[in-house]
Amino acid sequence: MGQPTLRRRDRIRAETSSEIKAIALRLLAANGPDAVTLRAIARDMGMTAGAIYSYFDTRDDLITALIADVYGSLADAMENARDSVPAADPAGRVLAVGHAYRRWAVTHPEEFRLVYGDAVPGYHAPANGPSKDAEERACAVLVELVAAGRPNRDEDPAAPRYDWTDFGEDYAAGIRKLFPELPPAALALALRTWGRMHGQVALEIYGHLRPQLVTPEKLYEDEMLDLATTLGLGVPGGSGREAT
Partner DNA sequence: TGTACATCAGTGAACGCGCGTTCACTGATGTAC
- The answer for residues whose C-beta is within 8 angstroms of residue 103's C-beta and 6 or more apart is 77
Of these, 81, 93, 141, 200, which contacts a copy of itself (CB under 8 A)?
Answer: 200
Closest CA relative to residue 134, chosen from 193, 63, 71, 64: 71
Footprint (CB under 7 A) of DNA, residues 51-70 = 51, 53-55, 58-60
Footprint (CB under 8 A) of a copy of itself, residues 203-222 = 203, 206-209, 211-215, 218-219, 222
Specify whether the CB–CB gap between 192 and 106 falls below 8 A: no
For the chain, the straight-line distance linking the first and the last C-alpha, in angstroms and rounded, comes to: 68
Specify the amino acid at residue 64: T
177 binds a copy of itself (CB under 8 A): no
Cα separations (Å) of 55 from 24, 49, 128, 211?
13, 11, 21, 42
Q: Whole-angstrom Cα distance, residue 209 to residue 126?
A: 32
Angle between helices 90-107 and 184-205 (to 10 degrees): 40
Task: Tell me the window of 47-55, 190-198, 201-209, 215-223 that interacts with DNA (CB under 7 A).
Answer: 47-55
Total binding residues for DNA by CB under 7 A?
24
Quick one: DSSP state of residue 18?
H
Of these, 29, 53, 103, 167, which contacts a copy of itself (CB under 8 A)?
Answer: 167
Question: Least CB distance from residue 167 to a copy of itself, whole Å?
Answer: 6
Binding site for DNA (CB under 7 A): 2, 5-6, 8-9, 13, 16, 37-40, 42, 46-51, 53-55, 58-60
State the residues that interact with a copy of itself by CB under 8 A.
33-34, 113, 116-119, 121-122, 125, 129, 135, 139, 158, 161-162, 165-168, 171, 188, 191-192, 194-200, 202-203, 206-209, 211-215, 218-219, 222-223, 225-226, 230
